[in-house]
Structure 1
Amino acid sequence: MGYRMVKAGAPFKDARSVTVAGTTNGLVLLVLSSADMILYNPLTRVFKKVPPPLYIYENLAFGFGHGATQDDLKIVKLGVYHCDMSLSWGVFSVKNRTWSPMSESIGHYEFSDYGSTFLNGFLYWRVLKDHSSALILALDIKEMTLLEIKVPAYTMFDDTTMGTINGYLCLICPKGGSYDEYQLLVMKDHGIWEPRLKGCSASTLSRMNCDAFRAMCILNVGKLLLRIVTRTHF
């Protein structure tokens, strides 16, 4: 079955930017430029605003998934709360419409973007720890425990896209630290990565008349959605 684009109504009109922070069960968590959160069903165009927690004053990242059952939807908001600028998180129960108490400090992390990837009860974020070590930060939603997952040493923090394929977490990244060739890495277990395929080479990009490409997302059928940077002639 092929993919097709569907024009869906937008629950926002005046936002300068909108970030897809997570998806699960056909619902999308949107974060607006104002840091407001919206749960949105793009098929029915029904949406609900998520009340903000009172205790986070600097937002860093968001997550959206479910606990033991699929109707136990959870929104995770990570941010700075403590005076030492370390990270904490709060959890919003969609069913109960309530926020949990703030977690204890979990250290200092720098997130690649607002959004997360949800798979098999875990939320995953790409992070830098202490401004140096590239990691994946995993949160077990049921147990509310954090886990740091190592990534290959050559993985570039800014140019790696995370997603899922055939029930596994995966990364699309430059091969060997070079932008001439990209590869797909599949996580067989936490911290155990297996290369699956090579991506487009520099010669392929030249034939496409573009300077570069970036993977936007990984479709579960094994296809990559790429953003092409077209050459501009002056």
Structure 2
Amino acid sequence: MAEVRLPDNVLYNIFAFLPQKSFLRSRCVSKYWNRLISDPYSMKLRSRHLIFPPIPLHDLDHDVPFDNTDVSMINLLSSFETLRKKEVTIVGSFTGVVLMVIKDCRDSMDMLLYNPFTRVFRILPFPLPSRSPSCKFVYGFGYGKNPNDLKIFRCRTCDVTYDVFSLKTSSWSCSQDLDPLVEFKDDVGTFINGFLYWFADNFENIVIVALDFEKMVFSQMPLPCSYKSSILGTLSGCLCMTTKSDNGTGFDVWSMKEQEVKNIWSKTFTICLDRIYLRNFKPTSILDDGRILMTNGQRRLLIYDKSEDTYKMWTVMNGFEDLASIRCTEYVESLISPFNICYAVS
């Protein structure tokens, strides 16, 4: 009997709607299928934007854009000794690969790149931590003009030392010449358009401090409003921040329309939390499409969608109740390996 082969465009459309596990398993059907699935066009048709949290979740609504993250995180963290007693910091993502730092109860740290779609991870060499138990670490992940020149930024605030890891050379460099003369308020910088941003105290006011990733130079800019329960994020390709509204029943979202131009901020929208059971929630992450991740500091998380003025809520698994400073990142499904991330963009 002659082999029946479906046209490529039919197969591409089938692959686009397959669940994650079925999609990945389909690569084993034949070399031909594997070639089609590995084609960037196949992943472009899926182009699903998902959310990666640093903790396992359950009771998920299937419409919430998570992709078996509960299983993914359990399998990942189980690779690092005891599952619980872990402090996971999400630093950022690039082309579907997430950068995270895992710290255990003995202050031992691992830094790794992880593809939530393929479940492949790469442990990175980690610079020696400070011996001071009170030393705070500040992180960033991004690039300058060239997306292939990805770098990881780490600041040891106790001795004002800055370590930069180049993924291209797989090596760390250290500098003490970058002191921005501020006290960082954020543990993780927000990356956009070649810059990393943090809230910081310059010992006179709360400001936003920016690191130019190309020039490796710090600068400061004033806030558009008062610093009250604020977080930084991106919105439609612009730097944005939230602050508690004047009437205390919600949060205002501000966007900076022009980079490197002071005071070009505008209030984009307001999140109203006038429902009694939502008043204890506060924003912790801003997604670029305008969705806001919020938590009540216990075992409840929700995503507020400004476009429809709706929200969806779910529960965190037992053993991961401390959500006061949870940070998530958005990523796009990809087959890119954490070992080849610097060669993902031509």
TM-score of the pair, normalised by structure 1: 0.82
- What's 1:169 paired with? 239
Letter in structure 2 aligned against 1:218: I
Instruction: State the partner residue of 2:150.
Output: 73
Shift of 1:16: 1.7
Report the residue type matching 1:165 in the other structure.
Answer: L
Q: How many residues align?
A: 218
Q: How does 1:9-20 map to 2 (within 5 A)?
A: 9-10=72-73, 11-13=76-78, 14=82, 16-20=86-90
- Which one of the candidate residues 72, 91, 116 is aligned to 1:21? 91
Aligned counterpart, 2:111: 37
1:92 equivalenced with 2:92 (yes/no): no
2:99–2:114 CA contact under 8 A, matched in 1 = yes
Deviations 1:28-80 (A, max 9, x none): 11111233211111112111122122485534200011232222110000113
Question: 2:67 aligns to what?
Answer: 6
TM-fit CA distance, 1:223: 2.3
Query: Are 2:204 and 1:127 aligned?
Result: no
8 Å Cα contact 1:68-1:142 kept in structure 2: yes
1:196/1:80 Cα in 2 relative to 1: closer, same or farther (>3 Å)? closer
Larger Rg: 2
1-side partners of 2:242 and 2:157: how far apart? Answer: 29
Aligned 8 A contact 1:210 1:229 in 2: no
Alpha-carbon separation, structure 1, partners of 2:187 and 2:117? 23
Q: Is the 8 A contact 1:117 1:163 kept in 2?
A: yes
CA distance 1:194–1:114, shift in 2 (3 Å): same
TM-score between the two structures when normalised by the length of structure 2? 0.57
The gaps in structure 2 that reach 5 residues or longer are 1-47, 49-62, 299-346
Which structure has greater helix proportion?
2
Classify the secondary structure of the residue corresponding to 2:271. strand
Q: Give me the whole-angstrom Cα distance separating, in 1, the residues matched to 2:68 and 2:267.
A: 36
Higher strand share: 1
Query: 1:194: Cα distance to partner?
Result: 1.0
State the distance in 2 between where 1:133 and 1:37 align.
33
**Considering only aligned residues, what root-mean-square deviation do their CA atoms show, in Å?**
2.4
Contact 1:161 1:215 in 2 (8 A): yes
- The answer on whether the counterparts of 1:25 and 1:70 sit within 8 Å (CA) in structure 2 is no
Q: Structure 1 residue 139: deviation in Å?
A: 0.8
Identical positions, percent: 30
Are the counterparts in 2 of residues 205 and 212 from structure 1 also a CA contact under 8 Å? no
* Separation in structure 2 between the aligned mates of residue 16 and residue 70 of structure 1, nearest angstrom: 31
Q: Which residues of structure 1 form unaligned runs of 5+?
A: none
Cα distance in 1 for partners of 2:127, 2:221 equals: 28
Which SS does the other structure have where 2:275 is aligned? helix
Change (3 A) 1:205 1:108: farther
Deviations 1:137-183 (A, max 9, x none): 11111111111121134122xx112111111000111124x533321
